[in-house]
A = this chain, B = another copy of it.
Amino acid sequence: MSQDGTGVDLETSLGYLLKEASSALRTAMEAVLRPLGMTVTHYSCLELLAQRPGLSNSELARGTFVTRQSMNVLLQALERDGFVTRPAEARVGKALPAQLTPRGRRSLEKASAAVRSVEVRMLGGMSQQEQAEAFRLLRGMVDSLRSAEGDATRG
């Protein structure tokens, strides 16, 4: 089945390798974030908020690749612990723009540096050209997956 063209050969599958890479990255991030008392999703939310202040719950969810329900419980915890603030009610619509508090910003600083060090380690053996090429190729895979989104379920 793995060599007849209809199956998946794990040894050569780019999909499998992609999962492996993602898993290795996540594990490495967890290792450096744990001493800081932070989880990966926790960090992702803060980092996203630092770079795009005012994002709503749903937008943060999309940016961190979780559901808006999951992001909601995380945001409530972050708000309770004073890392993030949200207005009590929306000025327009229902979207509540979130902001980092000074404490949230401070907490993010070390975490961001730690994660950066992981990324540097991951890219250690690659030239700038190779990194650019990897970016281009991965971008292409994402776009291909999304462009025909749902076609397989219609057939």
Is A17 part of the contact surface with B, judged by Cβ < 8 Å? yes
Q: Are A24 and B114 in contact (CB under 8 A)?
A: no
Asked if A114 meets B9 with Cβ closer than 8 Å, knowing A14-B119, A21-B142, A25-B15, the reply is no
Q: Are A119 and B19 in contact (CB under 8 A)?
A: no
- The 0/1 profile, CB within 8 Å of B marked 1, for residues 61-78 of chain A is 001010000000000000
Asked if A24 meets B135 with Cβ closer than 8 Å, knowing A121-B148, A152-B117, A152-B118, the reply is no
- The 0/1 profile, CB within 8 Å of B marked 1, for residues 28-62 of chain A is 11011001000000000001101100000000000
Checking B47, B65, B144, B150 against A124 with a beta-carbon cut-off of 8 angstroms, the contacting residue is B144
A37–B65 alpha-carbon span in the complex (Å): 23
Q: Are B112 and A126 in contact (CB under 8 A)?
A: no
Task: Provide the residues of chain B in CB contact with A22, threshold 8 Å.
Answer: 18-19, 21-22
Q: Are B153 and A125 in contact (CB under 8 A)?
A: no
- The 0/1 profile, CB within 8 Å of B marked 1, for residues 100-113 of chain A is 00000000110011
Asked if A14 meets B134 with Cβ closer than 8 Å, knowing A50-B2, A150-B31, A152-B121, the reply is yes
Listed A/B pairs (17) with beta-carbon separation below 8 Å: A1-B109, A8-B112, A10-B63, A12-B135, A14-B119, A14-B134, A14-B135, A18-B22, A19-B65, A20-B65, A21-B138, A24-B146, A31-B153, A35-B153, A122-B144, A125-B144, A133-B137
